[in-house]
Structure 1
Amino acid sequence: MNINELFDKKPIFETNRLVIRKLEIQDAEDYFYVLSDLETIKHTRWELFQSIEDSTLYLKNLEQKYQLRQAFHWGIVDKDSNKIIGRIAFVNVDVDNDKTEIGYVVSREYWNKGIVFEAARELIKFGFEELGLNRIEARCNEDNVGSERIMQKIGMEFEGLLREQLKMKGEYKTQKFYSIIRSDFVGSVPRSGT
């Protein structure tokens, strides 16, 4: 895995509608807007952001993970508004095994518009072609139909259920586990779609 391509170069991606660039502490106000909506965070481990300070502290935590080369979080920027509308990340970067997990969240007003698909498609291509990853994983709560649909659209395969795998907001959640491996990827990730 060519980890320097990720952490030293801070890759930026651009699509027709989006700029996907490193999420920074200065994005706290925009990011607060994303995570201060109960419906948006329904399937996440995060509590509702009550203030921009909550957002700032969260982004400082992400920056620490970046400095330790454990994770890389991109802000999803809507070109029309020039605002952060979500986040997509390589979490749990595993250099020894050439793999990572992809995670994402997008503001509710941008659901069902192909935004996460558009961003994830760029990261998966980058992960396999530039970083030399062999495996990219993802998971979602078993009742999170929208997230599961994205995993399927980006070419991931269902591997099974992780029963009561995470405790979220006081409840144990069973998660669906998906992955795509390099040999699946070659020419398989769709170039457009919603």
Structure 2
Amino acid sequence: MHVPVLSTGELVLRPIEDKDTAALFRHFSNDAVTKYMDIDSFSNISEATHIISFFRESLETQEGMRWAITLTERDELIGTCGFHRWSKTHFKAEIGYDLEPAYWGKGIMSAALTAMLAYGYEELQFNRIEAFVDPENTASSKLLVQLGFSYEGFLRDAFFEKGKFVDAQLYSRLRHEHNRETIY
């Protein structure tokens, strides 16, 4: 299996490569980027090298797939998005995504996820795609609703992250909802 290149016109979603090490380090060193994630902000470039290896291993074991989000006119990573926690048995996966703060509120993540979701339903044959969101991350919740995800509930102390238990909101979108959407 490989990570395909997906293009939206203004964006290119491409495989994360070794050449992205410095950009990934810069990206995940930003506390604003990692605030609601289950990782601490990076403090050493070796962490960027490690996460690239992790993404490759997830792909090899068919447990996940991650893209670098780049602008068409510039091949520099400005964020990432992908699938993880694949369950082939249940035809589902979870999504994750992050973006440089300079690009927030410009429709970039909406465009990236639209392409990624289409690939997930049409090529990977997912029936269900899930997202877990920190209840304080209202921008992420709004994005998911805009993309046709349904709010399924509030999970108390759902994850142990950064030394504490954290709540999560669960959103999902089903294949038949993708097929009837007009946002594509």
TM-score by length of 1: 0.90
> Alpha-carbon deviation of 1:125?
1.1
Deviations 1:126-145 (A, max 9, x none): 11122221111111101101
- 2:86 is aligned, of 74, 81, 93, to 93
Taking the aligned partners of 1:18 and 1:166, their CA distance within structure 2 comes to: 32
Amino acid aligned to 1:28: T
Residue matched to 2:132: 139
Residue matched to 2:112: 119
User: Any runs of at least 4 consecutive aligned residues in structure 1 with deviations exceeding 3 A, and if so which?
Assistant: none
> Alpha-carbon deviation of 1:55?
0.7
Whether the 8 Å CA contact 1:24–1:63 is kept in 2: the answer is no
Q: Does 1:179 align with 2:172?
A: yes
Q: Which runs of 5+ in 1 are unaligned?
A: 1-6
**Secondary structure in structure 1 of the residue aligned to 2:85:** strand
> Alpha-carbon deviation of 1:24?
2.2
Amino acid aligned to 1:13: L
The CA RMSD measured in Å over matched residues stands at 1.3
Taking the aligned partners of 1:63 and 1:130, their CA distance within structure 2 comes to: 19
Whether the 8 Å CA contact 1:21–1:75 is kept in 2: the answer is yes
Amino acid aligned to 2:63: Q
Residue matched to 1:4: none
Taking the aligned partners of 2:147 and 2:61, their CA distance within structure 1 comes to: 28
Q: Which runs of 5+ in 2 are unaligned?
A: none
TM-score by length of 2: 0.94
Correspondence 1:1-194 to 2 at 5 A: 7-8=1-2, 10-188=3-181, 190-191=183-184
**Secondary structure in structure 1 of the residue aligned to 2:132:** strand
Taking the aligned partners of 1:48 and 1:34, their CA distance within structure 2 comes to: 9
Taking the aligned partners of 1:151 and 1:120, their CA distance within structure 2 comes to: 9
Identity of aligned residues (%): 27
Amino acid aligned to 1:51: N
Aligned length: 184
Amino acid aligned to 1:188: E
Whether the 8 Å CA contact 1:43–1:141 is kept in 2: the answer is yes
Query: Using a 3 Å threshold, how does the CA distance of structure 1 residues 159 and 17 change in structure 2: closer, same or farther?
Result: same
**Secondary structure in structure 2 of the residue aligned to 1:158:** strand
